[in-house]
Amino acid sequence: MKIVKNLDSTILNGKSEVSDKQAEEAFRTIIRWIGENPDREGLVETPRRVTKAFKEYFKGYKQEITSELLKTFGDVNGYDDMVLQKNISVSSHCEHHMAPIIGVAHVAYLPNKRVVGLSKLARVVEVYSKRLQTQERLTMQIADSLMKGLDAHGVAVTIDSTHQCMTMRGIKKEKATTITNYFLGKFKNDLSFQNRFLRYISDKN
């Protein structure tokens, strides 16, 4: 398998310059800013809890994509048709308001002699989701990483999600959803593959 390094240029090098203590103090400041008292009983531990939660929300900055795609399998009797994983849960945050993005991703690739473990497709979605994102960029990052990391003949990614920056604030359109698609290789150049992918992900059965 061809290993492509540095798939993700957004990985931060080195350790964060901001300590947990500094982050907690920042959240205390925000609590005061909204008009609350960070020293009252119900809020005194909130800065620590929020700091811990943010580590989970944004853990993707500390994860490498390349390592998730290193182990592939060649003993698949020459299988070279579409591998599709539907309804991978997406939980991210928009970079404009840091509001949640909640939805699902559908990911497919056309193997080039070797396949990757199914859990790794979901893992790639997870790593990129756990960062400040736009849905458009998230869709492209997942596709580009799989295309390069697997040396695939083609990759297709669709994300269907709800943005709480639209549903809870601003225009407040609670039922609005957003769909993004990105196709590479044969999925882009051969509409028969693209149409099969779109038909499969629209099938509710």
> Which residues are marked as active site?
94-97, 135, 163, 165
Which residues lie across from 159 on neighbouring strands?
A: 105, 180
What is the rounded distance in angstroms from the CA atom of residue 4 to the CA atom of residue 90? Answer: 25
| 147 phi-psi bin (left φ>0, alpha ψ -120 to 50, beta other) | alpha
How big is the CA angle at 53 (ends 101 and 21), to the nearest 5 degrees?
135
The label of the residue with tokens 């290789």 reads 185
Name the token pair of 50.
């929020």
User: Treating both helix axes as pointing N-terminal to C-terminal, what angle do 46-57 and 20-33 enclose, rounded to 10 degrees?
Assistant: 110
The label of the residue with tokens 């400041």 reads 29
